Chain A
Amino acid sequence: MEKISKNVRKVVDKIRKLYGESPDLNTRIIDIQGQKIGCLFFESSSQTSTISDFIIKAVDYTKDNLFDSLFDSLKNNMFNSQVIIIDDFSKFPYFLSSGFTIIVVENIDKAIVMETRAQLDRGVTESTTEPILRGSKDSFTESHSKNLGLLRKRIKDPNLWFSELKLGRRTQTRISLAYINDIADKNLVTKITKKLEKINIDGILDSGNLSDYLTENKSSFPQFQSTERPDIVCQALLAGKVVILVENCPFTIIVPTVFIDYFHTSEDEYQKSINISFTRILKIFAFIITLFTPAIYIAITTFDQNTVPDKLLISLAVQREGVPFPTAFEIILLMTIFEILRESDIRSPSGMSAAMSIVGALVLGQAAVDAGIVSPITVIIVAITSICSMIFTDIDFINGIRAWRFIFILAATFLGLIGIFSAGLILLIKLASLENYQTSFLSPFAPFNLTAQKDALVRFSIKNIFKRPKYISAKNQTRQRRSS
């Protein structure tokens, strides 16, 4: 803690020096009946009209109606909802950079801080990364208070608690842990807080920075679900999970997350449960297809031809006729090209993506087959694989699948079906060994939890789900009471 100097001019000079005489730092010294007050704010991050309307006017008003000491009068006359008194100089930069206005008074070692933030973020807009057909359309924004507001608006229970901490030596990013006090596991909250407090880094810019700190496991699959939809967050909160919101980042992290969560969407609760069950099973199929198809194709065409029906094998053999590359190379080549195409499509401005899709579809698909560089079946395999991977919304999850897909391809190239099964076993062991905050990644299947099956692979009607899943939080499990 650093004391605030009683000399206004000294304080102002110190701040100016601290910011390297930055031109957007506005310092103003006003003389009120012989007593100097200093007014400090950043033009860039504050709303200057608010400052002139409320602060300067208040100062002006105080000039004529001075009954108490100057400091108390100023404090009482401020027309602002957020007036803070601080006596620590080291807090000045944080408030100034956040868009606050600081008033220091001659001979007083305290300062008045007022919220005069400028609207530097966009409004609440529709989610672009997780589009849905049914459900609320709003999404989180870069504004931390707006994000918290979106949650408060949905859960009016006073038990919705936010605990806040600041991370990043330079960025001083606000991190909020949201949880429902009487549902969430307190241990989980303290553990997460402890982990986060240990972080000593210069800057946290996105919630993605935090995921790696929160987990102890190494895996290509993401360990924590991330979403920009407030309704998904509220569903997680109501299930007893803890949600981490990071300032200036619309994506939140949900802890704990299990494997099957990536197969669920927020819509699951809003649509008919029987249809959702069908969709979920479809997604499981898609997961298996996208993981195994290229590997199995390689295995059955180069090692285990015995497993293919006659007509299919002959059709495959004839298609491969004249292709110059070995099957495995052909698949890896096309898969790589597809991954490049996908990556460049995300990065390119929207005007260019039309050209990209034409090149991708015509040149890489049709022309490559016509030229005899790849066989048509390979194009089909790669297409099926990539379409099935797009069924998931979490990009980390898609990339996790991709990593394993290439492992399977390699295993199939060298060992055939035996290789695929061995690699599959390794994947299963790997997934089963993942554990975060005492929640196993494969819950509720391993360890098996019968009541949680109502909302896992299939979904029962909301009428029949009475308990919250035990693997998330053991306390206060009743979600719904049987209506008598």
Chain B
Amino acid sequence: MKKIFLIIFLCLFLSGCGNYAELDKLAIVTGVAIDKKGNDYEISYLVANSPKDQTSSKEGEAKTTVYSGTGKTIPDAAMVIEQKSPKKIYLGHVNVVIISEDIAKDGFFKVADWLFRSPETRKQFYLLQAKNDKAKDIIKIISPLESFPSQSIATLLESNRDSKSASTTTTYNNFVGYVLEEGADPILPTITIHGNIKKGSEQSNIETTEPTAYLTLGPLAIFKEDKLVGYATTKESELINLIQNKIKEIKFSLTFKNDALSIDSYNLKTKLSIEDESHITLTITGNGNIYNINSNIDISNPKEIKKIENLWNKSLQKSLKKLIRKMQDKYHADIFGFGNKIYSTYPKKWNQLKKDWNNKYFKEVKVKIKSNLKIPDTGSLKDTLTEARK
């Protein structure tokens, strides 16, 4: 018994409280922005827990502070911030990391190691790329609906992923995984500021009814390995998501008999099948509802519906072909993971292909697109309104 007590005693008092840290002595970083300043790196930390003032601290509200530092290497820059901050920098709760366009073009892996190696950080934070603006400015913008910027960016990403088919979320882990994966290239969501940057970072931005500056998600950034090669348009972003099977619903706009026609699709599914290393078939199935139609047709007629279905299928196939062509010829970025599919089906053949995959073989892949889209329902109106007027 005495021995047990001795062991417990020693455990308690000799352990030395290894990673002990009081919560109020920590600067909790929730957002990180990485920019390039000439040849140097500039990192900015968004510290979320600086108390607003003496009275409101009890309500659990917090003001955010941005510390930034510049250095030749990333750790140098981080060291500058450590010196600036009165509290210990704590990276365990980093939520959002934003890299600037320069960093993205330069290659993300040059800066990634530092965050990945730190045992403190979670690897599940969202990665974004700032388009047109400095990454530092983006984490400064205060949003009226969320308590601190990084949170508002994360919510913006999540709600857009769920409601809008043109966006996606990429976590740090995901991104690195895609780069390291055989025959696959990553995509990143981009973010831009609308309005006055300087005013957006002031407290007054959330006191007005119409914020002077706000953040929006831009088109997807296309990466080849870890380097930025270009951007996709909104329409293309939707299709990329469709091929990657990330979304089930897209709103399509078609022109049918010179009139606008919108189809609200659901249950979209993409199947990637492979015949040999240079022939890939994409099969897209799904249903759609007509949700806006102005043309002068009788949609209760199944023949007319058939026509619309045909048109829809053709237009989708056409735009998908165009998108894949663009990736193959312009960006040489295999964001669809064709190479990965070959790797998992024919691992031996892949070994010969993998050296020149992006530059040579990927371009030569013939993609056959099949689609089977159906319109089982025409909504709650039987006729079109123009038709009914007659």
**B30 contacts chain A at the CB level, 8 A cutoff:** yes
Interface size for chain A: under 10, 10 to 19, 20 to 34, or 35 or more residues?
A: 20 to 34
With the chains together, A27 CA to B23 CA distance in Å?
79
With A305-B90, A313-B93, A414-B15 already in contact, the answer to whether A322 and B20 are too (CB < 8 A) is no
Q: How many A-B residue pairs have CB under 8 A?
A: 86
With the chains together, A313 CA to B61 CA distance in Å?
12
The answer to whether B12 and A376 touch across the interface, beta carbons within 8 angstroms, is no
Residue among A311, A319, A321 making CB contact with B151, cutoff 8 Å: A311
With the chains together, A322 CA to B53 CA distance in Å?
11
Residue of B nearest to A426 (CB): B8
The answer to whether B93 and A315 touch across the interface, beta carbons within 8 angstroms, is no
Residue among A319, A323, A410, A414 making CB contact with B60, cutoff 8 Å: A319
Residue among A302, A319, A327, A410 making CB contact with B58, cutoff 8 Å: A319
The answer to whether B151 and A317 touch across the interface, beta carbons within 8 angstroms, is no
**A316 contacts chain B at the CB level, 8 A cutoff:** yes
For A302, what are the chain B residues with a Cβ–Cβ distance below 8 Å?
A: 20-23
For A310, what are the chain B residues with a Cβ–Cβ distance below 8 Å?
A: 30, 48, 93, 95, 151
Which residues of chain A in 284-332 are interfacial with respect to chain B, using CB atoms and an 8 Å cutoff? Answer: 301-303, 305-306, 310-311, 313-323, 326-327
With A302-B23, A305-B92 already in contact, the answer to whether A321 and B15 are too (CB < 8 A) is no
**B26 contacts chain A at the CB level, 8 A cutoff:** yes
The answer to whether B22 and A320 touch across the interface, beta carbons within 8 angstroms, is yes
With the chains together, A377 CA to B305 CA distance in Å?
62
For A414, what are the chain B residues with a Cβ–Cβ distance below 8 Å?
A: 11-13, 15, 17
Task: State the Cβ distance, A82 to closest chain B Cβ, in Å.
Answer: 52
Residue of A nearest to B49 (CB): A317
**A411 contacts chain B at the CB level, 8 A cutoff:** yes
With the chains together, A303 CA to B148 CA distance in Å?
24
Which residues of chain B in 123-177 are interfacial with respect to chain A, using CB atoms and an 8 Å cutoff? Answer: 147-148, 151
The answer to whether A318 and B122 touch across the interface, beta carbons within 8 angstroms, is no
The answer to whether B28 and A317 touch across the interface, beta carbons within 8 angstroms, is yes
With the chains together, A302 CA to B25 CA distance in Å?
10
Residue of A nearest to B27 (CB): A317
**B209 contacts chain A at the CB level, 8 A cutoff:** no
The answer to whether B49 and A410 touch across the interface, beta carbons within 8 angstroms, is no
**B356 contacts chain A at the CB level, 8 A cutoff:** no
**B62 contacts chain A at the CB level, 8 A cutoff:** yes
For B151, what are the chain A residues with a Cβ–Cβ distance below 8 Å?
A: 310-311
**Which of A314, A323, A411 has the most CB atoms of chain B within a 10 A radius of its CB?**
A314
For B202, what are the chain A residues with a Cβ–Cβ distance below 8 Å?
A: none
The answer to whether B57 and A306 touch across the interface, beta carbons within 8 angstroms, is no
The 8 A CB mask of B30-42 against A (1 = contact, 0 = none) is 1000000000000
Please report A residues at the B interface, Cβ cutoff 8 Å. Answer: 301-303, 305-306, 310-311, 313-323, 326-327, 369, 376, 410-411, 414-416, 422
Please report B residues at the A interface, Cβ cutoff 8 Å. Answer: 11-13, 15, 17, 19-24, 26, 28, 30, 48-49, 51, 54, 57-58, 60-62, 90, 92-93, 95, 120, 122, 147-148, 151
**29 A-B Cβ contacts within 8 A?**
A301-B22, A302-B20, A302-B21, A303-B19, A303-B21, A305-B21, A305-B90, A305-B92, A306-B92, A310-B93, A310-B151, A313-B93, A314-B30, A314-B62, A314-B148, A315-B62, A317-B24, A318-B49, A318-B60, A319-B58, A320-B22, A320-B24, A321-B57, A322-B54, A323-B24, A326-B22, A327-B22, A414-B11, A414-B12
